[in-house]
Structure 1
């Protein structure tokens, strides 16, 4: 029974971590530029986080997609600077 409580607590912490990343990305994207592609990347991230939380995709897949999204955001922002 204690192990079940630990897993539940662990899932809760992971979910809070995903929510914090989502909120950070949301503030970061909205503060930079009103860009349709950035908003779509944010929505994709939110969907991936929800699927990961519900165990519809594995953590490795989530991490891979997350890296791709972050790289694309950086590329967009570098393009907007020049």
Structure 2
């Protein structure tokens, strides 16, 4: 069974890969506030104090800002 955690996610950066010079191609998306989302634990790649990194379609990655504090999200992930 897939596992999910509920988070409040906001602005994010989408990584579309790399150009011919090995420079990362990024798209910044700025939103006001945070939206409640269910995130598949299988998509989570890493967690920092500011961002949660998830995979996306076609090999892309998304760095999401999240509203919860780091220790709260860490506990959610470790207690699955």
TM-score by length of 1: 0.22
Q: Larger Rg: 1 or 2?
A: 1
Higher helix share: 1
TM-score for the superposition, normalised by structure 2: 0.22
Tell which has more relative contact order, 1 or 2 (C-alpha 8 A, sep 6+). Answer: 2
Structure with greater strand share of residues: 2
